[in-house]
Amino acid sequence: MMETTPKTDPEVDAPADPAPKPRRWRRWLVLAAATLAFVYLGFRIGFPIWIESRLPEDAPRIAFSPNDTWLKTVGINEAYQLTFTLAEGRLVEITSGDTGTDPKRIAAWLKRNRIDGVLLAGGGDVDPKLYGGDSAVASLVNRQRDDFEIALIKVAMEKKLPILGVCRGCQILNVAHGGTLRNLMDDEQHADRHFNLSGHPIDLADQSQLAKILKTNRLAKVKSFHFQAVKKLGKNLRITATGPGGVVEAIEGTGDSWILAVQWHPELEVGDPQQEKILKAFISEAKKRRR
């Protein structure tokens, strides 16, 4: 008698497929997102607490016109908050949305917020239309901010508040005094030397306020990132530092008000004693307003 092989049902007897394993990249993605969210929330909550713990009760209050470009999304304004807190100055943000360009509203805001000084931060190019320049070569122009800061500068000067300008702050300060700006993009070598991470040397004018603050006539390296610079100097200002190619790197006031502006970024040089001197000199002047 012939033996027969029992028939099998492939749908019944086939081995079951192993249970799908969760994809590891999804777990890592979720973990990374949760970590970033935790760090972000911790920073947003913890940073203001740290600021309050560091600042003395008599810290001068500085009106701070912040950077309004894409750099604000990567924390550039927090860099100002960090370095000025270490220098014992309290930054109070002010923008055109708070007062517009009305001098009376600006003066009222300064009084209401008990402001002792003004800080003009970096940002986009100043509108060339303000000084007869070529608008086609400017980038990240915010005319509303330009008009506001010019009005803020004039009110601050009337009240003899100390003013510190950084990068764009140097440029708008010169324009507010009737000066003009040059476009460094007209010379590729100048543009490369003044917009890079490696930095460049600067020479300081003898007997200038800046030279006295830094106690030197030369800095071996400052980091600057700008394509505009002072061309025709504004009224009641003087040039106090120059860089490669004779590009103006710092200006200061010649009148009674304490006015200083630099093209480089001392707020990014945390721990550099020379750059800290600039911030502390400004804070010291602001403190005098409280006496």
The token pair that represents 230 in the structure block: 């002072």
Residue 4: which residues within 8 A CB-CB, separation 6 or more?
none
Q: Which of 190, 194, 226, 265 is catalytic?
A: 265
Q: Which of 167, 177, 194, 226 is catalytic?
A: 167
CB of 89 closer than 8 Å to CB of 62: yes
Q: Which of 286, 262, 259, 62 is nearest to 163 (CA)?
A: 259
Residue 161: which residues within 8 A CB-CB, separation 6 or more?
63, 110, 115, 116, 117, 118, 257, 286, 289
CB of 152 closer than 8 Å to CB of 104: no
Has 167 been annotated as catalytic? Answer: yes
HSE-CB of 8 using CA atoms within 13 angstroms? 7
CB of 119 closer than 8 Å to CB of 169: yes
Has 93 been annotated as catalytic? Answer: no
**3-state secondary structure at position 6:** coil
Q: Which of 249, 252, 267, 269 is catalytic?
A: 267
CB of 216 closer than 8 Å to CB of 266: no
Has 170 been annotated as catalytic? Answer: no
HSE-CB of 194 using CA atoms within 13 angstroms? 27
**Residues noted as catalytic:** 167, 265, 267
